[in-house]
Structure 1
Amino acid sequence: MKRRHYIRTIGTGACVGLTGLAGCGSPDDTAGTDSPAVNGDDTETTVATGGDTEADGESNTVAMITDGDEYYFDPIGIAIDSGGTVTWNNESGSHSTTAYVEGNPQSEVTRIPEDAEGWNSETLTEQGATFSHTFDVEGTYDYYCIPHKSLEMVGRVVVGEPSGLGDDPPDGAVPDEQTIVDAGTVSYDEFQSG
């Protein structure tokens, strides 16, 4: 079963206050959809719920960073097991994490496994804002930042076994799939210096 769990911290207070009026307090409010391209609303801040922690306690966190005129994900490549969750943390600037899935903003190609669920955090503008996605289908997932796609802000997640992508996404370079699997993570600095 495909799943993605997140709550919107900005909307939570309003939802709690309006539970009786708007009926938004049902237990299923945090469940994601099974649509191939998941587009959020205008809410900016998301945080992972406690239900998607890694069994081995490892942190699968990717920082979204603006550093002068550099915009990047760190690590740029991360390997996880099927069923694992990655959490993107907006450390500085305004960024999104958006899967290469036709139908997502600025994506003309699909670069995730065929049966996989896409995602789109929309642009996170607040420092410390997070977005999480659970990966249930093995393979390679390429993604980008909507505001900085043209500046080559791209990343890669490999879930279990690589898909066999022999090239980079159309908007920038990422580490080779097997390199990510062998290392577990490839930092932005390691990739730039390699």
Structure 2
Amino acid sequence: MKAGNFKKTFNGLYSENTYLKWLVIVLGFVVLLMTWKVLSKDTIVTIVPPTLAEQGWVDRQKASESYMESWALYVAYLLGNANPKNGNLIKTALTPLLDKNIAADILAAVDDQINQIRRDGVRISFEAKSILQDKRSPSKYYVFGDSSVTGNAENKITSKRTYEMELEIRNYQPVLTSIKTYAGQPKTPEALEREKRMSDRKQEMRKKQGIEQ
């Protein structure tokens, strides 16, 4: 073999070896970066909510709307169907969901409601008709439906009722941070704004009528 050809072949092999070394280093860096991304990314769990017929998901700090609606519906049914027989069961089911800042007040309110039902000798029930998410405060949900009170004489009174609550996801778990219930339609920001406009118009009409008189 001629010395010139050998030198060319050796130089070619050396250059190729250097290129392969850098390629291995770059690939190793890419693998490390991808591994870090995989390990640092929150796990997403795909589930089917118990009270809705569509698929949902939850990760460490957030969840799909269907999943959150499922829990809102669950809480409304628990509170709307409380009675002396299932009171302790409802409190046991609610306790893991309650934020520590409201837990004592909510559980005391459940006790008060059950004691009132026992004193009045009635049965209450709640049937949800719709679930709304507050578009301005996505963690707030409104469960609206029919609330019924049945007395000993089996006379039944049905009225419209809303359960308004705020739900968050903390470390994959739903947490109830506030809840209140009231008669009538959901008091969404849009509904409150409509009421205010109507109230303002009525006041203006009264003022005009007073001036004309």
TM-score (norm 2): 0.22
TM-score (norm 1): 0.23
* Greater relative contact order structure (CA < 8 Å, 6+ sep): 1
**Greater helix proportion:** 2
Q: Give the greater-gyration-radius structure (CA).
A: 2
